[in-house]
Amino acid sequence: MNTQLRLPRAAFMTGLITLAAALPAAAETNIVTSIKPLELLVRAVATDDVTVTSLVAPGGSPHNYTLRPSQRRALEQADAIFWVGPEVESFLTRLLANNEFSGRTHQLMGQTDNHSEEAPHADDDQSREHNDHHEHQTGEEKHNGHSDEHAQTDDEHNHDHGTGDDPHIWVDPQHALEMARAIAQTLSKLDSTNAQVIQQNLQAFEQRLNAREASIREQLEPLQNRKLFSYHSAFTRFAEHYGLQLQGVLTLNPALSPGAKHIAEVQNQLKQAGSACLLTEPQFNTQWWKSITEGLDITFSTWDPLATDIPATPEGYEQFQQSIADAVLNCR
């Protein structure tokens, strides 16, 4: 080591530390998201000094979550709050409508009146029925489909992202990118953040995500004809995005036990499929579906739509995408 170089450098470092100590402490940025996948999207674009927490605790489901008093305080202190919308986090609907949170609350699912779906789906009628239970509210931020670039670069991928009914938009990578853009825009407007770095992070995320998406498309190619069933509709948009054969959804509302008529229908679908793979989820440990699959040729695979075990790092969302693909690969 060259001491002649080290000495001035040490002096320079000391100078920096003194300078930093003299400056007022940088304002903290506190972001609250409803669910972990949104936390991952914030982490992908935010700088390291931004604090991000999500409300739905591990093991919980946004469909039937109950907010704790401490979480109400976290919301009060948040600089920005991101959620999907009333069709997913119904526990937040009334609270976030409060004046106290307006201006800080960002709904990421844009509600449109146009509900036409270009690619008809096996459970289209079911999901429509599911959505009719909800009011269609107009979100503050609308995301009406994707950029033309996306449509042009991928001929096979021509489903309409903007008008689909299913509210589990975060499992579709291009929807996730749209949300990351909206998040980046919101974060950039906060006084305590660095808009230039956020923009760089967003661009890097887009590149990594597109690469991951292409890789997953290749990995899933051999499973294009595998008959899949999912526990609830959270898997639908992932299946549509990658052209997978989702034959049916076991429950329309995961917070409730399905009716006898619906169970009979699903059981019939499973029988007719001959050989199928059922994608279950750790949040819903109800075992009623075990009895209806008895004696049938069913492979089980678990995936987690809430990314519970994915580390909250800038690369977390891509790992989440891969974890869903891995669950499908386990159906082989």
Task: Give me the 106-135 binding string for Zn ion, x by CB under 5 A, dash otherwise.
Answer: ------------------------------
Helix (H, G, I), strand (E, B) or coil at 156: coil
Question: How many residues bind Zn ion, per CB under 5 A?
Answer: 4
* Closer Cβ to Zn ion, 198 or 239, answer by number: 239
Complex with Zn ion: residue 76 or 309, whichever CB lies closer: 309
Q: Which of residues 234-253 bind Zn ion (CB under 5 A)?
A: 234, 241
The one segment of 79-87, 94-102, 169-177, 279-287 that binds Zn ion by CB under 5 A: 169-177
Q: Which is nearer to Zn ion, 45 or 234 (CB)?
A: 234
Q: How far is CA 111 from CA 124, 166, 177, 269, in A?
A: 18, 11, 17, 31
By beta carbon distance, the residue nearest Zn ion is 241
Contact 227, 247 (CB under 8 A): yes
Q: Which residues are within 8 A (CB) of 161 and not within 5 positions of it... i.e. 6 or more apart?
A: 145, 146, 172, 174, 175, 178
x/- contact string, 184-223, with Zn ion (CB under 5 A)?
----------------------------------------
- Any contact of residue 172 with Zn ion (CB under 5 A)? yes
Stretch that binds Zn ion, among 45-53, 121-129, 134-142, 227-235 (CB under 5 A): 227-235
**Least gap, CB of 232 to Zn ion (angstroms):** 5
Stretch that binds Zn ion, among 35-43, 214-222, 230-238, 272-280 (CB under 5 A): 230-238
Of the candidates 13, 286, 17, 233, the one whose C-alpha atom is nearest the C-alpha of residue 125 is: 233
How many other C-beta atoms can be found within 10 angstroms of the C-beta atom of residue 183?
26
**Closest among 24, 25, 29 to 79, alpha carbons compared:** 29
Q: How far apart are the first and last CA of the chain?
A: 56
d(CA 40, CA 174) in angstroms, rounded, equals 15
Q: How far apart are CB 332 and Zn ion at their closest, in Å? A: 23
Among 107, 174, 186, 201, binds Zn ion (CB under 5 A): 174
- What does each C-alpha distance from 42 to 85, 205, 278 come to in angstroms? 17, 11, 31
| CB 159 to Zn ion: min, Å | 6
Beta carbons within 8 Å of 57's beta carbon, 6+ residues apart: none
Interface positions with Zn ion (CB under 5 A): 172, 174, 234, 241
